[in-house]
Amino acid sequence: GKDIFDEDGNPSNDSTQSYFDKEKIHPDSNRRNIIHKSLAAGGALLATRTSRASAKNFKSRTDEYEVRKSEAEWSESLSSQQYFILRQGGTEPPYSSILEAEERPGVYACAGCGTPLFDAKEKFHSGTGWPSFASPVMGTSNPSVPNVEMEDVSNIQYQLAGAEVRCRTCGGHLGDVFADGFLFVGTPAFVTGKRYCIDGGALVFVPSDQNATG
């Protein structure tokens, strides 16, 4: 990620565009608003994902979180894909992450700061192409507050189009949460009523056996 900034330390449009062109994605694409997938059962519409550089109803991603770095520092510590997702609000192509098919027990942590975000017990296969979870990990200091932060939107918007979710520690964009968990009978989402649709590039998977051995 060292080559995506110009001489003044600002993101370079030319260098970042080469990444977007290579992956056939664009930072301004609005997937949630232009793509809807029809479910076979009942013909219900399943809200999909959006890519956005920032959310109108969120605090600053750079100034108001516990873990803070300059954009140049984030670029140094993250891969191009991780930076695109976590810091620019991008969305990876569906079925492009190996974590979508991951089924081992363990914990999914933030690729930016290492905060535990989702337990593998809450993971399920939604058929959307992105790792999906029914609920996030709760904080250790305050068990009533999840480690995943949800965009402040109206209930109507949440029900119809979902809301952005971020890492509560570093503000990194993770994906979106939707209120359609009831559609996934037999999964943890059916119980919570929620589907956290997360970019695999925003996560690092830590298997349980690795936790046990340190």
Residues serving a catalytic function are 197
Structure tokens of 115? 């905060």
Taking the C-alpha atoms of residue 90 and residue 26, their distance in angstroms, rounded to an integer, is: 8
Going along 121-198, which residue ranges are E strands? 123-124, 132-133, 148-150, 163-167, 173-178, 195-198
CA atoms within 13 A on the CB side of 39: 15
Consecutive H or E run containing 97: none
Q: Which has the closest alpha carbon to 89: 134, 149, 26?
A: 26
Q: Which two tokens stand for residue 183?
A: 């559609």
Q: CA-CA distance, 62 to 71, in Å (whole number)? A: 8
Cα–Cα distance between 23 and 43 in angstroms, integer? 31
Which two structure tokens, joined as six digits, stand for 172? 């990194």
Contact call for residues 9 and 124 (beta carbons, < 8 A): no
